């Protein structure tokens, strides 16, 4: 029994790539194109063509609605005229009963078809309106840019105000703060409640003046600031 000839490629140690995809040569390569050529037009022409296409769709649907309404009105007028003449020709109905029934059925079918076409046109107009609303909301780049600029201005103003508040607070921490009149009055009340005079006040025979109390408060504030700075430097070290 004869053996098939050995395949020289199978004897090589390198693995062969296998796939079940069709070869490209089996396709009609003559009809294939490497790329699709799109005509280059400017933005104004593209937008104008797009607008004309939408206008054409809207005009077609509105025309369909108008024609359907006109046909329905015509059928209704013919039917009403026939009903008015029905009293006069009541004796002839039996003779042409089959013909009248056929006309009535035909008119009913026409009215039903027109109503269906009008409903389809109305739904199409509703879809077009919804699409135009979405295009207007999502494609309004001017409004989006304006809102972005307003938010950026608001953020910059907030950052500037926060920086100013921080600088003011930092300056207040670095410099000793003078006591206001309310704080001085509160200190006076506290001293009166304690019921004792200070050692300096007893030696002088009178309470210290307001300027002296302000100077004393400044000295205390400076001492507290120095102590806090020393504590902070020690903690950092």
pLDDT computed for residue 18 by the predictor: 64
Q: For a pLDDT cut of 70, what percent of the chain falls above it?
A: 48
SS (H, E, C) the chain: CCCCCCCCCCCCCCCCCCCCCCCHHHCCHHHCCCCCCCCCCCHHHHHHHHHHHHHHHHHHHHHHHHHHHHHHHHHHHHHHHHHHHHCCCHHHCCCCHHHHHHHHHHHHHHHHHHHHHHHHHHHHHHHHHHHHHHHHHHCCHHHHHHHHHHHHHHHHHHHHHHHHHHHHHHHHHHCCCCCCHHHHHHHHHHHHHHCCCCHHHHHHCCCCCHHHHHHHHHHHHHHHHHHHHHHHHHHHC
Residue 103: which pLDDT band, with cuts at 50, 70 and 90?
confident
pLDDT interval class at 225 (50, 70, 90): low
pLDDT at position 111? 81
pLDDT digits over 30-70, tens only? 555 555 565 677 777 887 888 888 888 888 888 888 888 88
What pLDDT digit, counting tens, does each position of 163-181 carry?
888 888 777 776 655 555 5
pLDDT band at 2 (very low <50, low <70, confident <90, very high): very low
Domain boundary assignment for the chain: 45-139, 169-236
Q: What pLDDT does 219 receive?
A: 67
- 131 pLDDT more than 80: yes
- The mean-pLDDT minimum among 20-24, 35-39, 202-206 falls in 202-206
pLDDT above 90 covers a percentage of the chain that reads 3
């Amino acid at each position: 029994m004869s053996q098939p000839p050995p395949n020289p490629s199978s004897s090589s140690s390198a693995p062969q790539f296998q796939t079940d995809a069709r070869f490209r040569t089996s396709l009609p390569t003559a009809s294939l194109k490497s790329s699709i050529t799109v005509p280059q037009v400017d933005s104004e022409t593209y937008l104008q063509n797009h607008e004309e296409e939408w206008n054409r769709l809207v005009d077609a649907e509105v025309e369909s609605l108008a024609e359907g309404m006109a046909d329905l009105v015509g059928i209704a007028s013919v039917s009403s005229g026939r009903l008015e003449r029905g009293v006069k020709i009541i004796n002839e109905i039996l003779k042409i009963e089959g013909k009248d029934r056929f006309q009535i059925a035909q008119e009913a079918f026409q009215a039903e078809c027109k109503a269906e076409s009008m409903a389809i046109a109305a739904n199409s107009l509703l879809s077009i309106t919804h699409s135009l609303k979405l295009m207007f909301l999502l494609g309004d780049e001017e409004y989006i840019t304006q809102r972005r600029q307003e938010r950026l201005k608001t953020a910059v103003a907030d950052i500037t105000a926060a920086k100013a508040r921080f600088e003011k607070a930092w300056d207040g921490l670095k410099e000793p703060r003078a006591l206001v009149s309310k704080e001085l009055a509160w200190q006076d009340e506290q001293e009166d409640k304690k019921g004792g005079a200070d050692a300096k006040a007893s030696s002088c025979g009178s309470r210290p003046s307001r300027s002296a109390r302000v100077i004393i408060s400044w000295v205390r504030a400076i001492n507290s600031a120095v102590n806090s700075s020393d504590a902070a430097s020690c903690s950092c070290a």
